[in-house]
Amino acid sequence: MGTHYDVIVVGAGSMGMAAGYYLSKQGVKTLLVDSFNPPHTNGSHHGDTRIIRHAYGEGREYVPFALRAQELWYELEKRTHHKIFTKTGVLVFGPKNESAFVSETMEAAKLHSLTADLLEGDQINKRWPGVTVPEHYEAIFEPNSGVLFSENCIRAYRELAEANGAKVLPYTPVEDFEISQDLVKIQTPNGTFTANKLIVSMGAWNSKLLSKLDIEIPLQPYRQVVGFFESDESKYSNDSGYPAFMVEVSNGIYYGFPSFGGCGLKIGYHSYGQQIDPDTIDREFGVYPEDENNLRLFLEKYMPGANGELKRGAVCMYTKTPDEHFVIDLHPKYSNVAIAAGFSGHGFKFSSVVGETLTQLVTTGQTEHDISIFSINRPALKKELQSN
């Protein structure tokens, strides 16, 4: 096995594996290294499913990025035997005039002329009998959005990248980096490897290892949970037309998925999580009572027919930036290094277009996508570093 490559990708999870595919598609000699064997349960991509929304409550600036991501997911589905996407539609609701997230979702849809239905209290309850909301609630339903099968996405990108000649080295944690303007070297327990260019997409481990690349980005990993609950399949299944959902209520944002094949309704509490070290995180669901209790609080009020027996729980990680926007940029000192970090619990849906963007950055030094909101030098990141 040769040890010199055109590009090394460190962290072959969501973003890294996508980048590996797009690089290999261009004939770039690519090595992907990961501490585990992707797809796996140690990062931020497991748990079967992720929502892809086009009307974006985190900021209307994301919409073109989301639409390109969707195009690329459709393209991936055509190239693989794995199921990648299902168009469930996505329902976003909350109390009228009280939810910034719902309001921004509506504004994003309007600004970008996205197909969407606007509904209020009783209309929501009638259209989806599994939902119970007060009259003063409002919703936006986006029929062209839906659900990605996250582990399948990574599996498909890996198979296609390897078929194109990319090399994937699992169980290979990076111990150290050496960087100059035209050469990068990584040291691992399985050997030392060099390349002309480097992509760093280490998920929660970015918070620990980026300092070895002579850069500081304020990143904090959090422990997150999701639960799958026994539910009335006639109301809450994908087959019955139940949508994926994002909801902002008084105690924060929840998100969830219809039951696929009897797995139960899946729900997560976006506003919950303990600060953790990714090497010592407790991966047992239920070790904290609120793991399950926070999810049930929502279900019993808004989706009571899905508040059945807990079928299973899963633990993953968010890695947040101070403003909860991503970092996708070239290293400020080394133009041959691209960094993807801080996806803050809402990044997976974009991993296709992030992979494309990283590929463009390391091969040409620029990208056709507007990634100014994700700049490594933006004021919110600098301010946080200065305050510490």
- Selected catalytic residue, list 53, 197, 266, 320: 266
Q: Is 263 known to be catalytic?
A: no
**Is 35 assigned a ligand-binding role in the annotation?**
yes
Can you tell me the mean pLDDT for 350-356?
98
The answer, yes or no, to whether residue 213 has pLDDT greater than 60, is yes
The answer, yes or no, to whether residue 189 has pLDDT greater than 50, is yes
**Is 334 assigned a ligand-binding role in the annotation?**
no
Task: Report yes or no: 119 and 127 within 8 Å, Cβ to Cβ.
Answer: yes
If 0-12 CB within 10 Å is exposed, 13-18 middle and 19+ buried, where does residue 35 land? buried
Q: Is 266 known to be catalytic?
A: yes
**Is 55 assigned a ligand-binding role in the annotation?**
no
- Selected catalytic residue, list 316, 320, 346, 359: 316
Write the pLDDT tens digit of every residue in 124-167.
999 999 999 999 999 999 999 999 999 999 999 999 999 999 99
Can you tell me the mean pLDDT for 285-290?
96
**Is 31 assigned a ligand-binding role in the annotation?**
yes
Can you tell me the mean pLDDT for 188-193?
96
Q: What is the pLDDT of residue 42?
A: 87
Q: Is 316 known to be catalytic?
A: yes
| Banded pLDDT at 200 (limits 50, 70, 90) | very high
**Is 33 assigned a ligand-binding role in the annotation?**
yes
**Is 12 assigned a ligand-binding role in the annotation?**
yes
Can you tell me the mean pLDDT for 65-94?
98
**Is 355 assigned a ligand-binding role in the annotation?**
no
- Selected catalytic residue, list 53, 197, 346, 349: 349
Write the pLDDT tens digit of every residue in 319-338.
999 999 999 999 999 999 99
DSSP string for 126-153: HH-TT----TTEEEEEETT-EEEEHHHH
Q: What is the pLDDT of residue 44?
A: 80
Write the pLDDT tens digit of every residue in 18-32.
999 999 999 999 999
The answer, yes or no, to whether residue 385 has pLDDT greater than 80, is no
**Is 6 assigned a ligand-binding role in the annotation?**
yes
Domains of the chain: 4-45+151-215+323-378 (3.50.50.60), 90-143+220-320 (3.30.9.10)
Helical spans, DSSP H, in 195-267: 206-209, 233-236
Can you tell me the mean pLDDT for 211-226?
94
Q: Is 153 known to be catalytic?
A: no
Can you tell me the mean pLDDT for 50-57?
98
Q: Is 192 known to be catalytic?
A: no
Can you tell me the mean pLDDT for 66-70?
98
Q: What is the pLDDT of residue 1?
A: 47
**Is 121 assigned a ligand-binding role in the annotation?**
no
Write the pLDDT tens digit of every residue in 94-132.
999 999 999 999 999 999 999 999 999 999 999 999 999
The answer, yes or no, to whether residue 237 has pLDDT greater than 50, is yes
**Is 314 assigned a ligand-binding role in the annotation?**
no
Q: Which residues contact 309 (CB under 8 A, 6 or more apart)?
A: 229, 230
Tell me the one-letter amino acid at 63. Answer: V
**Is 130 assigned a ligand-binding role in the annotation?**
no
Share of the chain above pLDDT 90, in %: 95
Strands (E), the chain: 4-10, 30-33, 49-52, 85-86, 90-95, 117-120, 137-142, 146-149, 167-169, 176-179, 184-188, 191-200, 220-229, 244-249, 252-257, 265-269, 274-275, 310-320, 327-330, 337-341
**Is 15 assigned a ligand-binding role in the annotation?**
yes
